[in-house]
Amino acid sequence: MDNLILAALLGLLEGLTEFIPVSSTGHLLLVGHFLGFNSPGNTFEVVIQLGAVLALVSLYAAKLMGLAFRARRDPDALRALVSLLIAFLPAVVVGLLAHDFIKRVLFESPALIAVMLIIGGVILLVIDKLAPAPVHMEATELPLRTAFWIGVCQCLAMVPGVSRSGATIVGALMLGVEKRAAAEFSFLLSLPTMGAAVAYDLFKSRDLLDFSAITDIAIGFAVAFLTALLVVRAVLRFVGKHGYAVFGWWRIIVGTAALIGLWAGF
């Protein structure tokens, strides 16, 4: 496959999957495995993920800046920012302690990724039907304890195939957060989490980074950015009406197909 087409495909995949509960990392790693794609220091994957992060920043910058400006005089705005910080902290601790193991061991196991996609899909289907009735209707009004436990759930996503948004959304639903609010809190939480993860990956891999294929990287980055812009708003509308079952079935289908491909020797 032509490198430019593959770069656009991977950028599209990143933008489509980063903010829905299907594991963008799992999808990228599986596609890379089956198509034989590999970039030194994972430069390509890290940079296109940054494209998705910047898309989310552009969508939520005004909201976050509004909260920051009001925080000094508005206790509710301050609590909203503190809740995001509290939810972010567990991932910082676990990420710093387990980063090398995750990257060197777990990221090298396509079979593990496929299995986690299937397990996560089953969990999404169950939780979508059996989650308790929502008591928290706004993403910026969650109790600090609720935010903390959502942050703990987010740590599960360090296993590729679990999905960061999937883990946080499932945790939020089980804690009584309304479906649309769960998705929006997951989006907001992804800003510090993904921003820090990308920065840390770039720092840890600084000696391996290879920007020689700058055209491929630029195309992947641009496609991921533009696709993520469209996906975030569409997801909020979709889950408010239809829930998360379709994402659960998608995970099961992709995970099963990957296991079949691996069993067949691809």
Q: pTM of the prediction?
A: 0.87
Contact assessment for residue 11 and residue 227, using Cβ atoms and an 8 Å cutoff: yes
Alpha helices in 75-208 (DSSP H): 75-104, 110-130, 144-154, 164-174, 179-204
Average pLDDT over residues 176-195: 92
Q: What's the gap between Cα 8 and its chain centre? A: 19
Q: What is the structure's pLDDT at 213?
A: 66
Task: Band the pLDDT of 158: cuts 50, 70, 90.
Answer: confident
**Distance of CA 181 to CAs 36, 58, 212, 235, Å?**
39, 19, 41, 11
What is the spatial distance between Cα 44 and Cα 37, in angstroms, rounded to a whole number?
A: 10
Q: What is the DSSP letter of 205?
A: T
Contact assessment for residue 3 and residue 10, using Cβ atoms and an 8 Å cutoff: no
Spatial CB neighbours of 81, under 8 Å, sequence gap ≥ 6 = 67, 68, 71
What is the spatial distance between Cα 27 and Cα 247, in angstroms, rounded to a whole number?
A: 13
Percentages helix, strand, coil for the chain (3-state, rounded to 5) are: 80, 0, 20
Question: What are the domain boundaries of the chain?
Answer: 3-263
In one-letter notation, the amino acid at residue 73 is R
pLDDT reading at 201 higher than 70: yes
Contact assessment for residue 186 and residue 247, using Cβ atoms and an 8 Å cutoff: no
Percent of the chain clearing pLDDT 90 (strictly above): 44
Task: Band the pLDDT of 104: cuts 50, 70, 90.
Answer: low
Average pLDDT, the chain: 87
Spatial CB neighbours of 39, under 8 Å, sequence gap ≥ 6 = 45, 210, 213
What is the spatial distance between Cα 244 and Cα 251, in angstroms, rounded to a whole number?
A: 11
